[in-house]
Amino acid sequence: MIGPAINSACIVAGAVLGSLLARRVGSSFQKNIMLVFGCISTGLGIFMIGKAHAMPPIVCSLMAGTVLGELFRLEHIVVRLSHKVAGFFARRSARRAARKAARMTAQAGANATVAATGAVTGAATGTVTGAADAGTPDAAAPASPCAAPDAARPSVSIEAIQEQFAVFTVVFSASGLGFFGAMQEGLTGDFTMLLIKSLLDLPTAMFIAANIGAVIGVLCVPQFVIQMAVLLSAGFVSHWATPAVLADFSGCGGFIMLATGLRMCGIVQFPILSMLPALLLAMPVSALWVHFVG
């Protein structure tokens, strides 16, 4: 379970670092980096497809798995869940911002009251300096420099958070690389593939967190659970998980990674989450194909 633990830790670390560096990263820079990550995902998908043993079982798995995903409305369920999670954190952030604004307003009011009191006292005692300072418009202005950064801070819509949650639920939690890496560690003890995925997920989480906040770190939980489930189930399939079957499993994940990359780049809105059941069908369908066809 070394691979899933490292992968989860990298997602959390990336989310924290990204949220801390958010103000230092411009929106155009984030957008360009996301396009690069989409390109990387597409390239990984093509690479994994190229390792496939036979296309017919992969195509059958993708078609049947997507039909099942659509029938059970898998994408709709996950998007609704991401909506609730994103809404919960967005409301918390809004409440914190409102409390901060209220404190700043109260402080500004207190400063104005003190300045006005000083002006009245100065006028009553004939102190010209006090009256002149009170009449200066800068007396009630100390709160404005503090308010400027909050006003200039970019806001992200709930819809954008939902979309990025849907995409990165796949990238982090259910990617073909993650499934294959967890299966490989369960069968052989080699967690190299998950280590590679961790190195990719760390900067990805950073730039996503810079855009929508550290909430993206929540995805380490389903990612860890899914990878551990795949890792622990490897012992049950080891007797028929031949190199050809594993190659087809990787190829099926490659198609999903390809679709994920195209969606990240905004080219085509593939139903990525509905395609995930194909990964559950890929190995048995490929095993049947190898047994009867070769």
Distances (CA, A) of 272 to 80, 139, 196, 260: 15, 57, 22, 7
pLDDT number for residue 151 = 39
d(CA 129, CA 267): 66
Given a cut of 90, is residue 228 above it in pLDDT? yes
Runs of H (alpha helix) within 213-242: 220-237
Amino acid present at 175: S
Q: What confidence tier does 115 reach under pLDDT thresholds 50, 70, 90?
A: low
d(CA 181, CA 250): 10
Residue 82: CA count within 13 A, CB half-sphere: 25
Q: What confidence tier does 272 reach under pLDDT thresholds 50, 70, 90?
A: confident
Please state the pTM of the whole predicted model.
0.69
d(CA 88, CA 286): 42
Given a cut of 50, is residue 149 above it in pLDDT? no
pLDDT number for residue 181 = 85
Instruction: Please report how the helices 2-20 and 220-237 are oriented relative to each other, as an axis angle in degrees rounded to 10.
Output: 170
Given a cut of 70, is residue 66 above it in pLDDT? yes
Q: Is the torsion defined by CA of 149, 152, 153, 157 positive or negative?
A: positive
d(CA 244, CA 251): 10
pLDDT number for residue 25 = 66
> Each residue of 27-49: pLDDT tens digit?
677 778 778 888 988 998 898 89
Given a cut of 90, is residue 5 above it in pLDDT? yes
d(CA 157, CA 221): 24
Q: Which of 171-185, 187-201, 246-260 has the lowest mean pLDDT?
A: 171-185
d(CA 11, CA 168): 11
> Each residue of 179-227: pLDDT tens digit?
778 888 888 888 888 998 898 899 888 888 887 777 788 889 889 998 9
Higher pLDDT, 64 or 186: 64
